[in-house]
Each structure stands twice: as structure tokens, then as C-alpha cells.
Amino acid sequence: MATDKSTTPGLRLPWAGKQVSPELVEEELTSLWHLAADNMRISQNMNVRTSVLNLVICVSDVQSAYKVSTLLRDLSSTHIARVTLLILDTRSDQPSNVSTWVTLRSFSIISDVMRHHFEQIVVHMSGEAVHSSAPIVSSLLKPDLPVYLWWPSDLPADPGLFHQLTRVSSRVIVDSDTFLVPEQRIRTLSSLLQETPDCALSDLSWGRITSWRELVAQFFDVAEYRSYLGDVDTIEIEHSVLPATSHSTNAVSPNPIRALLLAAWLKTRLGWKLSSDTSHNLHETETGTYSWKMARVTTLSGHLLAVALDQVEKKAVPTLTISVRPRENADLSPGSLCLVRMRSTSGDQHAAFTIDREDDKHVLTAVELPSSSRPQRTVNITATQKEDELLHNEFEIMGQDLLYEDTLHEVFSLLA
């Protein structure tokens, strides 16, 4: 293990609390709890101390640490026992150092009179000490509580560091919106699940597309439309990218992960598989443009039968395609879903079911049937887009999100 020092020269974090030596963290937290109890006795506040989970947050710099520390104030309905905020400075020219700060934080539960307290430990690691992050974190956890690891930024270039910390975690939460090289990071996550099948992995972007998945499902809750579902043969998905003239330096563009997750989810829901005919498939990482030819998996006498296009008459099985393409939009964050269109063909009868982005908060849904078209409907999709709300939803999940994990593997197979 790298030699640890108790201070990082020149580094001051007034928002992080009192700086202490790593070995004195527990002693200082005990002292802070005693002080909080004394304050409660001479005031009208009711302090609530809960012990539900450890939250470990990993960031790469002090600015990001301050941002997520501020965000924690909005998680008032989450009963966190202890937050360990890791600042991992992986620059090779930095000396090996470990510095720690501790504080008690609180937010109101019902009113300003009743407050929920939790512990916060900030750990700054640099140089070789970064490679000891997993054992250091383990020593700072509250025992017998689940460990949630939240990685709010892009995964490290060296996946070994990420994998080490996942091994001491019960649940891992990432945000693929921040991935600088989306396809590579998808492979990292898929490999993680294969190597550690008990790891409970989730992605905030999966929550961001929940409203889109619900709207797709709602189309076919209508009995009149249900018969068209089995004849869907084309899926089109668009994701937002910055215009070529944009000078933004803070956004990853293109980042098609939301579109890829939705494509993979639709593929499995419809019972499709990749066709053996790949001659017309398209894979353009630079632009976020993809297209795949599919084959339908049908149920026959209780068994799944893969119907390959080259094994039957072409007129018996329609050409099935999924396409993902970019749409320039300077008003949307890169990666936002812009369009989902499902086309259904039965003989000479055609239908289309469309969800089209109107603005940042609304989409238009439309249904075109062979004999008529239904009026467009405007739907608000902002209900679960805030980061703190997405996080809160993830904290409520104690086990594995198997649907997300299966969908992630499907994305990996599409990109392979």
C-alpha cells in the first residue's frame, strides 16, 4: 500500500468540515454526535439519526466533489447513514497523499424542527495512494449496512480502479450521460456484469428513458392498436447532438447510449434477434448512426424458433430493421431522445406509432392507421429528469435491476 499522509499541501476544503488524520475519523465523528446531542437539549430541534446505507461517491476533482456534496441536500427523503466522498486525483505526477475531512450534515424531514443527520467523510487521494482506494474505503464504512457506489462522472481510463471499488459495493450507480467514449464504457459495464454477476448495476440514463418506454407501452394498451404490435417491422430512433457550429466544451456529443438502450429494450420486447445477414448493417461511432437488420423470434408449440431470413421465402418474413441516428438540436443536452417511430405492415395495410420531441419538456405522440389518423397528443416528460430524483429512485432499489442488466447486454451485442 502506498504511504499515506494526513494532509495534502495547499488543499483547503472549508465545505467538507474538519480535517483530521484518517485514523481519527471515527473518534471525531463520535465527538460531533455528542455535540449535536448537546445542541438538541438546548433547542427545540428534533434530531433523527438513521442507519440504512453507506453511500460512496467517486469523483476526479474538488469542483466535482463540491457539486455532488451540494446535490446531497436535495435527497431529503433518503435515509443515508454515512457518505464517503472520494476525490481521486489519478495524475501520475502527483505525490502519494491521503487527506480526510469529517462533518455532520442534515436536512429537514418534515419541517425545520425535525432534522435528519448523516455523516460525511471527504477523502482526497493522489498519486500511488489512489490504487489503495478500495481498502481505505472499506475501513471507513459503517458495518453491516449495504454499500451504494455512485460514480457521477465518466469512468476512469483504467477500469481496474472502478472494478476494485465495485467489489466492496452492494450496488453501483453510473451515469452514462457523462461517458466520453460511450461504446468503450458500455463494454466496461458489460464485462463487469459478466465477471461479477452478483453486482447490482444501474444507470441514471435508464431512468431518463423510463417515460419514453412507458409511452411506447401505452400505445398498445389500446385494444384497437394491439393487433399492429406483432407486425412491427421498422423502428427508428433519433438522439440529439450538438450542431456542427457549436463551441460547447462541456458536453459529450454524440452520446447515443439512451437511444441504444431504448433500441435494445424494444428489440427484446418484440422478440427480435440480429439477422445473420449483416451486409447492410451500419455502425458509425463518430456520428452516432447505426442500423441493424433483424429476424423475428416466434413462438411455436411452446418453443422459441429463430426465423432466419435466409431460411424461408422472403415474402413470408418481412425485412425487420432498427435504425438509430442523430438529430442536431442546440437546445437539448446531447443524447436526449428526440424520436421513436414504430412502423407496422400487414399486407398492404400500414400503421405508424410516433413519439416526437417538441421541446425540452414535451413530446408529441401520434398514431397513423390505414384508414385514419389520430389527433396528436402533447405529453410532459419532465417528471423524472432531475438528477436528485433519479438518484432517489435508484436508492429505493435494494437488489439487481435485471431488466436494465439484460438490456445492457443487448446493447453490447448490438455494438459487438
Same domain, 281 and 323: yes
What are the grid coordinates assigned to 405, written together? 442488466
Give pLDDT, residue 10. Answer: 63
Q: How far apart are CA 164 and CA 107, in angstroms?
A: 32
Same domain, 154 and 48: yes
Half-sphere exposure of 264 (CA within 13 A, CB side): 22
- Measured over the CA atoms of residue 161, residue 164, residue 169 and residue 171, the dihedral's sign is positive
**What average pLDDT score do residues 46-61 get?**
79
Domain CATH number, residue 360: 3.30.360
The region of weakest confidence among 168-177, 193-202, 280-289, 353-362 is 193-202
What's the pLDDT tens digit per position in 130-189? 889 999 999 999 999 999 999 999 998 888 889 999 999 999 999 999 999 999 999 999
Domain annotation covers residue 247: yes
Give pLDDT, residue 35. Answer: 82
Same domain, 230 and 153: no
Domain annotation covers residue 263: yes
Give pLDDT, residue 80. Answer: 80
Same domain, 125 and 233: no
Domain annotation covers residue 77: yes
> What is the identity of the amino acid at 267?
K
Same domain, 367 and 233: yes
**DSSP letter, residue 37:** H
**What average pLDDT score do residues 99-115 get?**
71
Domain endpoint, select from 153, 174, 195: 174
Domain annotation covers residue 392: no
Give pLDDT, residue 165. Answer: 93
Neighbours of 135 (CB within 10 A): 12
Same domain, 266 and 375: yes
Q: Measuring CA to CA, which residue among 343, 179, 374, 171 is closest to residue 257? A: 179
Q: Are 291 and 259 in contact (CB under 8 A)?
A: no
Residue 112 pLDDT exceeds 90: no
Neighbours of 372 (CB within 10 A): 7
Domain annotation covers residue 186: no
Burial class (CB in 10 A: 0-12, 13-18, 19+), 301: exposed
Domain annotation covers residue 152: yes
Number of domains in the chain: 2
**What average pLDDT score do residues 102-119 get?**
70
Kindly give the residue spans of alpha helices, DSSP state H, lying in 141-181.
159-166
Give pLDDT, residue 48. Answer: 53
Same domain, 96 and 217: no
Same domain, 158 and 245: no
**What average pLDDT score do residues 355-375 get?**
91
Output the CA–CA distances (angstroms, integers) from residue 195 to 163, 188, 342, 406, 407, in the order listed.
10, 11, 35, 15, 17
Q: Which domain holds residue 263?
A: 208-385
What are the grid coordinates assigned to 196, written together? 461479477
pTM of the predicted model as reported, rounded to 2 decimal places = 0.87
Give pLDDT, residue 294. Answer: 95
Same domain, 169 and 266: no
Q: Where are the beta strands (DSSP E) in 109-258?
A: 114-126, 147-151, 171-174, 200-203, 232-241
Give pLDDT, residue 367. Answer: 96
Q: How far apart are CA 203 and CA 13, in angstroms?
A: 29
Give pLDDT, residue 283. Answer: 97
The H or E element spanning position 413 is helix 402-415
Domain annotation covers residue 390: no
Same domain, 169 and 255: no
Neighbours of 242 (CB within 10 A): 19
Same domain, 142 and 241: no
Same domain, 257 and 381: yes
Domain annotation covers residue 199: no
Q: Are 205 and 404 in contact (CB under 8 A)?
A: no
What's the pLDDT tens digit per position in 77-92? 667 889 999 999 888 8
- Per the listing, cell 473518534 goes with 27
